[in-house]
Amino acid sequence: MYIIVGLGNPGDEYVLTRHNVGWLVAESFVQNYHFPDLVKSGTFNGLLSEGVFQSSEVGVLLPTTYMNKSGSSVLHYMKERNVSREQLIVVHDEIDLPFGTLRISVGRSGGGHNGVQSIIDAVGSTEFIRVRVGIAKTSLFGTVKRPTGDKLASFVLGAFSSREQKTLSAVCDKSAEAIALILDRGVSAAMNTYN
């Protein structure tokens, strides 16, 4: 069994913020691959959908614990469903990648992302799959413009610009396709395709 974890914060004020792109991608996966609607799970402190993809059981979990406590929700679900770290796929925003790009990785540090760090701390390892979805603005030369200090928090918790929102659905669909490829052919194949 695989588990797809979309990282984000609960509440209407966070719905279209950059920090919630993990939730948006997980929701796209549920919709695009005809999984049951996400429902509130008090047991796992999150929104949950469970279904079958290419004959494998898959759970989709959106922790509602707020970002920096995501790990408790994830660990509880993994223990209850007997999911190994190698079958954990975490989808989250990545400030070091340009908006609209994505990278698949395994074994990276938290990199300052509180949600990812919470999961690392909870499961005791970095050895899980991450789908990192770029949210950064870029210069005219295509280099990432990374906010620093207080500006970083306000940027990631800020809403996508109107220009970004026009392509956000396509970004989420592409990221959901990457997850589907991981499930179907493995992480190496997905890395070769999307990295």
- DSSP H or E segment with residue 176: helix 162-185
For 22-81, the DSSP string reads: HHHHHHHHHHHTTPPPPEEETTTTEEEEEEEETTEEEEEEEE-S-GGGHHHHHHHHHHHH
Q: Which residue has the tokens 């948006």?
A: 24
Q: Strand 56-63 vs strand 46-53: parallel, antiparallel, or unpaired?
A: antiparallel
Q: Which residue has the tokens 């925003």?
A: 93
CA gap 133, 91 in Å, rounded:
7
Report whether 43 contacts 75 (CB < 8 A). no
Spot the catalytic one: 19, 76, 92, 113: 19
19 is catalytic: yes
Among candidate residues 192, 152, 194, the one with its CA nearest the CA of residue 174? 194
* Catalytic residue annotation: 19
